[in-house]
Every structure is written in C-alpha cells, then in structure tokens.
Structure 1
Amino acid sequence: MTKTDPETAANRPPSRRAPAGAAVLREDVTDAIRAAVFEELAAVGFARMSIEGIARRAGVGKTAVYRRWKSKLSLVLDLVSAFAEQGLPVPHTGSLYGDIRALLAVASLALRHPIASQVIPDLLVESVRHPEIADAIKAALLDGQQGVAAVVVREAVERGELPPGADPDRALDLIVGPLYWRLVVVKGALPKGYLDDLAKSAVAALKATG
C-alpha cells in the first residue's frame, strides 16, 4: 500500500489532481524530515543513509523529501549549513579571560549537540569522497568561529592584554581545540573546574606566544 503524501493530500481537490509543484510545503513536515535525518545519521551513518529510510522515520512519503531536497547529500549539507549559521556569539566581558571563558561555556554546549557529537565525525570521513561536505563542515566548524576569535583578540590587543599581531587562528586552536578533543573525539565528561582551567591556560599561552 502506497503511503499518502500529507502535503499532497492536504492540497489536492477531491475531484481532480493538483498540478505538479502546487503543494504547499508544510513546516511541520519539514521539521519531521530534519529530525529524521539526525536519527538516521546517528543510526546508520551517511553512507548507508537513504531517502527511503528518512521518509520512513519521518512518517512521510519519499516525494515529501524530494520536494525539498534533491538528494541526501543536499539535505545533509543544508542541515550542516543551518547549524553553522547559529555560530558562536561574540562575547564582550571586558577581559580576555572573561571572553574566552564565555566562549568555552557556549562551545561546550554546542559540541554536545547531535550534529557535533554524532553527525560531524561521520561526515568528516565522508568528506574525503565529497568535497561539498568538506566545505560545509569547514563553514560549520571554522569560518564563523574565526570571526569570533578575531574580535576577541582585537579587543584584547586594544586593552593591552595581548601584543599587536596576536594570531586569532592560534587563539581559536587554544580555545576550542582541547574542548573538541575532549567532548567529540574522546567523549569524556568534563571534570569540575575544567572550563575555568582551560580558559586560564589559553590566556597564559596567548600571552606567552603573542
């Protein structure tokens, strides 16, 4: 028995078939598909993920998925890009330590998100075969954060906490790198006071290296 497409059913007059492309894209269906993608990626990974499996988890027909995305690759890239757009907020605490500690607090939450903890590690493997995935992950993990790090370093230089020419890329490595390793790669719990100590270490390293 063929599953009824909820969008087509909701928009088709009883006496005749609606023309192609006439269905309204329901937001609740879109949300259900996106949630299903996360579940499917976590369960089987990108390589084994299929539009059929996504549709089945979402409780919709394949047409509802294809109406929004042309392939599973475009679907995943859209989700990763949406995650990247959320980004990290630029802190303005008035001190280098305060800014770094604030970034670590937000980053620790972001790295526990299913995209970071389950989806991105799998996509990093697939990025070797799909340059589009590599570009999307770069945007999600690097581009936005580089802008935030640049602001933090610039303001620290203006306050005299760092010397002119301090490297924002090094700052980003020192701030987020250890946290990513701990939460995403090792998947270990953060000891009490870990973020405080990590912030102090990053400040000390930046001041030492300039």
Structure 2
Amino acid sequence: MTPPPPGTPRRTPAGAAVLREDVTEAIRAAVFEELASVGFARMSIEGIARRAGVGKTAVYRRWKSKLSLVLDLLTAFAAQGLPAPATGSLYGDVRALLEVASYALRHPVASQVIPDLLVEAARHPEIAEAVRATLLDSQQGVAAQVVRAAVERGELPEGTDPERALDLIVGPLYWRLVVVRSPLPEGYLDDLAASAVAALTS
C-alpha cells in the first residue's frame, strides 16, 4: 500500500470514538457537584454519570477512575491560574487578592470540596500533589508578582519572602472561612489587608 504524500491530513480511523466537548464539560461540572454533595470517598462514577446525564461508558472513555478524573480537574484548574492584581499600591494589591480569595472560598462548592480533598490528600500522594498545585503553587505565583511590584515601587525591601507574604495575607482568611467557617464581619477584609501590609513592611 502506497503511503500518503507528506503533508496529507491524517483521517480519523473508521469507528474511532469522537469525544464531544459538551459531554466532557458536563461530566466535569458533575464532578464538582458530586464532590460537594457526597465527598471524594463516597463519590462514584455511577453518581457522576447520573448527575451529568450520560452513561458510565462516557466517563470511562475519558478517565479510567474517579481519582484520575479529580486529578485532571485539579490540574486543569491550577493551569488557569489567577491574574495578579495591579492596583498601583501594596495595600490595593493585597486587598484585591483578599477579595478574590474570599469569593472563591465562600463559594458553596469550594467550601465543601477543599476540606474533603485535604483529607484525601493524606491518603493519596497524587491528590496531595494536585491540591498543592491548585491551592499553593498558583497562589505563590500571584504573591510573588505582588511582592515584586511592591519592591519595585519601594514599598517592600529586597529579599521579601513571597511565601511568608502569602501566609500573612491569605492564611487568616482561609482559617476563618474554611476551618472555623465563620462569616466575615463588615470591614474584615479592609482590616486584614491593613494588618498584612503592616506585618510585611515592619
């Protein structure tokens, strides 16, 4: 059989499965909902498929297990990243970062999914790595940009540690919203931003 000339587009083999993007997105949305509803341990491919309105085969064509599905979802989420705020001042950047973080952490799905995944991370190294990439690495990148901009403006000294900055900025907020699950009083984010800036510049 004569091979096709170079540059000829390859045809999809007859009978090959073509994965519909709308079905893939429906399954991904169902995973978030299922995680928030029953948690990772009780989550099942059957439940995901039922919630997405597809058959189990549609899920297994894309992911071999619920673990690989969740890992893929976390990895995709981490890859999106968050834009670093650029308000022109350290306080403004910190306040903007807190606003975005508080919105994300107060989302009903996130408030259920994150604590459950942290528990599962202790049992599954793969989940631990994915959670780290989602919750920590992407945030550290944003914190590094905030610190770098503040150093260039002369608001922070050279050598300011972005990891320490992230701990000071987001740590109290995470504790309050995810661990204690206490509502934020009026002006809390303003006060927290001022306290974080004072700690970073002292």
**Which TM-score bucket, shorter chain as reference?**
0.7 to 0.9
Equivalent residue, structure 2, for 1:147: 141
- Which of residues 80, 88, 92 in structure 2 aligns to 1:86? 80
User: Given the alignment of the two structures, is residue 202 of structure 1 paired with residue 196 of structure 2, yes or no?
Assistant: yes
Counterparts of 2:66 and 2:45 in 1: how far apart (Å)?
6
**Superposed displacement of residue 88, structure 1:** 2.2
Residue 163 of structure 2 corresponds to: 169
How do 1:156-195 residues align onto structure 2 when only pairs under 5 Å count?
156-195=150-189
1:39 equivalenced with 2:39 (yes/no): no
CA RMSD of aligned residues (A): 1.5
Whether the 8 Å CA contact 2:36–2:109 is kept in 1: the answer is no
- Answering whether residue 149 of structure 2 is matched by residue 138 of structure 1, we say no
Q: What does residue 125 of structure 1 align with?
A: 119
Mean alpha-carbon deviation: is it higher for 96-105 or for 146-155?
146-155
2-side partners of 1:145 and 1:115: how far apart?
19
In structure 2, what is the Cα distance between the partners aligned to 1:38 and 1:94? 36
Structure 2 gaps, min length 5: 1-13
Counterpart code for 1:32 = A
The alpha-carbon deviation at position 65 of structure 1 amounts to 0.1
Distance 2:46 2:21 in 1: 20
CA distances 1:60-81 after superposition (whole Å, capped 9, x unpaired)? 1111001111110010111112
SS of the residue 2:97 aligns to: helix
TM-score with structure 2 setting the length: 0.88
Structure 1 moving runs of 4+ over 6 Å: none
Could you tell me how far apart the structure 2 residues matched to 1:174 and 1:121 are? 20
Unpaired segments ≥5 residues, structure 1: 1-17
Counterpart of 2:21? 27
Aligned to 2:9: none
> Bigger CA drift: 125-134 or 24-33?
24-33
Partner of 1:10: none
By how many angstroms is 1:36 displaced?
A: 1.6
Counterpart in 1 of 2:105? 111
Separation (CA, whole Å) in 1 of partners of 2:84 and 2:20: 34
Letter in 2 for 1:91: P
Distance in 2, Cα, partners of 1:176 & 1:80:
20
For residue 163 of structure 1, report the CA deviation from its aligned partner: 1.6
Question: In the alignment, residue 82 of structure 1 is paired with which amino acid?
Answer: A
Q: 1:128 offset after TM fit, Å?
A: 1.3
C-alpha distance after superposition, 1:129-157 (max 9, x if no partner): 11000000000011111111111112212
Counterpart of 1:50 (choices 34, 44, 49) is 44
For the residue of structure 2 that corresponds to 1:111, the secondary structure is: helix
Deviation at 1:167? 1.2
* Deviation per residue, 1:49-98 (Å, 9 max, x gap): 11111112222111100111111001011111222223221112111101
Deviation for aligned residue 1:114: 4.6
2-side partners of 1:80 and 1:121: how far apart?
14
Distance in 2 between residues matched to 1:111 and 1:140, nearest whole Å? 13
